[in-house]
Structures are given as C-alpha cells and as structure tokens.
Structure 1
C-alpha cells in the first residue's frame, strides 16, 4: 500500500493538467471606437447551472455558479470591452444566460439574449447576447430536422438571427461536432455533412452573411481540416486573414496553437471591417482552468472579435 501511495504521489503531478509553457501574457481587446460596433465569438467552457436537468448533466454548486457568472461578466466587460454582439457556445440554458445578462446590467451594460434548446446530451447550446445599436428581427435555428444515422445531424443546431441594424443581413452562430474519435468514418462523415450543408445554405443567400462560432476545425491539419476546407468553398471571407500569422489561434491542443473559433463574412462586407482582434489569457491555461473550475480563466478558448464601421 505504501508503495502504491508513493507511486501515486510521483505520477499525479505528471498526469494532472498544467498550464502550457511560454504563453503570451493575458490581454484584452480594444474597445470599439466611435462609429464602429464589435462582434465577438467565445466558447464559455460548459457554463452550466446548479440543477441536474438530465442524466448526463453535471450541475455545479450554487456558489460556483455565482462565481462563474461573475467572472464571465467581468471578462466580457474588462477583457472584451462589452462587444455589441456576443456569439456564445456552451451555455446550458436560458436561465443561466439570464443570470449573465443580469450581472452585466449591474455593470451598466444592458444586453438582450437569445438561446434555443438543441439536442446536445449534456445540454450545451449556442446563444447570442446583443445591445444597442444592434437590432435583431426574426430568430430561428437551421437544420433542426436534419438526421444523420438515425440521430440529429446537429446536436447544437446553428442559431440564425436576422440583423436589422447597424447593418441588414444574417448572423449564424455555430458549434460543430468535435474531432473526438475522428479516425472513425462516421465522425468524419458527420463533420463533412455539417460543413457541406451550411456551405450550401450560404451560397443560396442573397443578403450579407456573418457566421461565427466554434467550428472545431482549422486549416492545414490534415483530416482535421477537411470540414474547414469544405466550408471554405462557400466563398465567405475568414477574418483571421486580418491578423498576423503568429496571432491566428484561439485554442491550444496539447499546447499547440489552433484556430478553432472563426468569424466568416460575405466578401461584400470586407470594406466594413475596420479591425480584427483576439484576446489572450484563456487558451493553454489548463491547470488554472480546471483548478478554478472556470473562474480564472473562464474558458479554454480565447475570444475572436471583429469591428465593423457603421
């Protein structure tokens, strides 16, 4: 038994997650200048409530929920300078989102919010928060009825919003299937099907389109990039191209930088893009994230932000 304990004490520090080495210092993004408005995309790392909603749900304590909501609101205000639109992934339900909206109101920022429940077994959904001068019209989801091998094609159906101001167009928030078990043929096929379906939808649109979220794919990474390459055929412009190559990442997989989070726009919107920025301080800080349970930092993803001129 003593030998077992000794071995465990030696191995546990090696197996426990740790922050990556040589990370960039934490930094926020600039505030939107006058006559511009900002849109950010951010995965919130399973922002869930304190109630067990399903068999696969893993609720947090009420104390942790309050701490996480406070920390996320602080990051939105201080780190992201309260962008006018937030495209969010991994929010459990409207009740959690409402708590975040209320906390932001206490900080002086009055957001409205949109969330539609999907099919994710763990209850994670995509959502949007927005504030003036942004105005949103109709809200719906895409591909809700699409099936794949007898199940929903999208566990988290893309959220579609009609933008009415400051520009007229369509905003879609996505969270594609992860690359877990990517060597399995059906996983690769599902990711390709999601990409193809959304790309075909884009090419059929007459109005400007903005698509933001966690795509779980990137360029130049072999089989992992197949869904990225398929969606690229939609003809949209990927806004990572506005940043230097060394800055083009929002996540670290085994400490290697990857751009999993993307904002794509119709080519006609390019003249309206005044700046693109990415925050630092989340990605690669595994030990800090797990140790604080999502309080410091608040996610394993950095945020990507685009600034549009009116």
Structure 2
C-alpha cells in the first residue's frame, strides 16, 4: 500500500510584484495570467522577476519543511507565478523544483487561485470553477442564484499516482470570513455541498473510494481547543461523508491550529484534510504536523524555533501554517 506525504498551504498573496511597465510589454500582467502551458510558463520564468524576496523565501522554506511529495496551495496568482516560485525559491531549499505544476484560472476577483505542486505523476486534472449551483444540483445560499458559480475560487480535481496506484485530491479555498463568520457561513456551507456533489459525481460509491478534500476552508471546527457547533463544513462532515484527519492525528486540540486571528487573539484551524471513510479506516493514526516556524511573532502561542528574518507581523511565511500528513492509500490501479 503506497504512502504519500501530502501538504496544504495558503501562501498568502503569492502574486506578481514586478513593474510590468518597465518590462516594456503591453498588457503583460494579463498576458502572463493567460499562460496555461507549463512549458510556456517555464520560458516566461526565465525573463521576469515576479516575487517579493523576503516573504517568498520564508514561504518556500516553510513549504520545504513539510517534506511533502504533493502540495496543495492556495492564493497563487497564476501558472507563471507558481513556476517562478517553484524554480527560484522552493528549489533552493529542497534541492530541485517539483516535477508537476497544476493551476487553472478560477473565479476570485483578486486573481488568487488554487494550485498543486507534485513530485509524483499527475494522471488527471480538472477545474470545476465554471460549475454553477444549478449544474451541480446544489441549492444556492440567499443572495445567489442557480446560475452563479458554486465556488468562490475553484475545486481543483487532481489524480496523483504512486507505485501504480491513484489517489484523487480535491483542492479548495472557500469564501473568507470577511464581513463576519456567521454572515458568510451560508456561502461556505453551499461550497461544501458543492464539493460533496463533485466527489459524488466522480465516485459511484464515495465511501469506498480513496480521496482527500484539502485546502483553506476559511472555517474552523475548534477555537482555542474548544469544539464549536456552527462550522460551515457541515455538509461534508456532519453525516460522516468525509472525516477530518486532524482530530485523530493530533491528540492535543490546542495543537491543531493553523491560523492566528489577530483581532480576537484566538487560534483555530482554517486548513483541513478531509478524507473518505475508506481512507480514514486505512489511517487510524495518520502522522500529521503543523509547520509553524514561519509564523510571525505575534502568534505568541507558538514558542518554538522560527526562521531567521521572521518579524512581529512581517516578514513571515504566510498568515497560515502548512499542514502536512503521511497517508497510506490503496487507490485504484492506474491501468486496471
């Protein structure tokens, strides 16, 4: 049975920062966003400086510390930016860039997308950014219609292959809490229902398949170690459709946080790995870790080692911490 090292990380505004006017290319930002070929992205990467130095060095170091073979990322601007980050920053800490990069343009008004880096072969990839509530048969939240897109960013579906076996990943980044957690919760609940529908359309018997839903869900099931009853992930978790890996992998509830809420000085997990019931049964004690060495010092609950250069608020690796787990899976044979 293969064992995969899998991470999820919100990189916080992994966006291009160069002055495109000085580059002398008309509409350069839009042209780079339109690049959807990994080969072209690598060629563009040799010509542009697109990332801020201090934060991105720390971001790359935190991601490298996961030791992951496959990394789900959130808040990445485009494939060119992802390629530059991988080749120029991550490779400095891991020794080599990742073999595969996946990004499809999503729906976010800021242009931040979900993405995947993999050292394992990617046998299938599909974006669900253009799926509407109506197409998925999901009831839209108040204020939206059946013709609206179901995902604020995307639900990126990717198959990775290890030892000839396939594991399916669904990379997500749900609606933020901006405007208030309770006021925005219905949107996240609708997104969760839409993800459930996507998984159910892929697998005839989802409970008997191997899959992981992971990413930044912008909602928590615990705050400061205390369970909450109004989590927006209910459509995925309430009836056991998916299983949150963290409570079974990290015993201390005070050690599961991946994000510090500065204004309220609270600690919660916005980043999750939700696995199928079959995968949960195969991993009764999965190894999981939160990498916090890139956290700013204002996240004072963490008192361990921090990377040189970390500041009180910035520089920092991100406002989130990478979450990484080692997961055993059986999966389907690539060519059954």
- Smaller-chain TM-score bracket: 0.7 to 0.9
Q: Residues of 1 paired with 2:131 and 2:8: CA distance? A: 25
Match of 1:105 in 2: 91
- Is the partner of 1:156 in helix, strand or coil? coil
Give the TM-score taking structure 1 as reference length: 0.74
Match of 2:128 among 122, 142, 158: 142
Deviation at residue 130 of structure 1 after TM alignment:
0.8
What's the counterpart of residue 293 of structure 2? 281
- Deviation of the 1:91 alpha carbon: 0.8
Answer with 151-160 or 240-249: which moved more: 151-160
CA–CA distance in structure 1, aligned partners of residues 11 and 279 of structure 2? 27
1:210-230 Cα shifts (integer Å, max 9, x gaps)? 111000111157999342222
Distance 1:201 1:262 in 2: 18
In the other structure, the counterpart of 2:74 is 89
**Who is 1:117 aligned against?**
105
SS of residue in 1 equivalent to 2:233: helix
Matched residue SS, 1:257 = strand
Q: 2:307 maps to which residue?
A: none
- Is the 2:60–2:317 contact (alpha carbons within 8 Å) kept by the matching residues of 1? no
Gaps of 5+ in 1: 1-34, 55-60
Distance in 1, matches of 2:69 and 2:79, equals 19
Q: Match for residue 239 of structure 1?
A: 245
Q: For residues 156 and 71 of structure 1, what CA distance do their matches in structure 2 show?
A: 25
SS at 1:180's partner residue? coil
User: Does the 8 Å CA contact 2:286/2:327 hold for their aligned counterparts?
Assistant: yes
Using the TM superposition, give the Cα deviation of residue 192 of structure 1 relative to its aligned residue in structure 2, in angstroms: 1.9
Partner SS state of residue 131, structure 2: coil
Q: Which runs of 5+ in 2 are unaligned?
A: 21-28, 31-47, 134-143, 300-309, 330-336
172 and 239 in structure 1: CA distance in 2 versus 1, 3 angstrom threshold = same
Q: Which digits, 9 at most, give the CA deviation of each residue in 1:41-73, with x for residues without a partner?
A: 11101111125747xxxxxx9586244333322
Query: Hey, what's the Cα distance between the residues in 2 that align with 1:307 and 1:119?
Result: 31
Distance 1:141 1:223, change over 3 A: farther
The whole-number CA distance in structure 1 between the counterparts of 2:149 and 2:288 is 34
Cα deviation, residue 162, structure 1 = 1.6
Q: Distance in 1 between matches of 2:106 and 2:150?
A: 11
Q: Which residue is 1:50 aligned to? A: 17
Secondary structure of the 1:225 match is coil
3-state DSSP of counterpart to 2:246: helix
Number of the residue aligned with 2:157? 160
Q: 1:263 aligns with which of 242, 254, 273?
A: 273
Q: Aligned-pair RMSD on alpha carbons? A: 3.1
Q: By how many angstroms is 1:188 displaced?
A: 3.5
Say if 1:217 and 1:225, in contact at 8 Å, map to a contact too: no
Alpha-carbon deviations, 1:218-274, whole Å to 9, x = none?
115799934222221352111111102121111111321101100011122232464
Match of 1:73 among 42, 60, 75: 60
Cα contact 1:203–1:234 (8 A) shared by 2: no
- Cα displacement (A) at 1:190: 2.0
Distance 1:183 1:139 in 2: 32
What is the DSSP-based 3-state SS (H/G/I as helix, E as strand, rest coil) of the residue aligned with 2:215? strand
Q: What residue is the counterpart of 1:173 in the other structure?
A: 171
Question: Is 1:305 aligned to 2:324, yes or no?
Answer: yes
**Which of 249, 261, 277 is residue 257 of structure 2 equivalent to?**
249
2:234 pairs with one of 224, 229, 237: 229
Deviation at 1:36, TM superposition (A): 4.1
Q: Distance in 1 between matches of 2:267 and 2:149?
A: 31
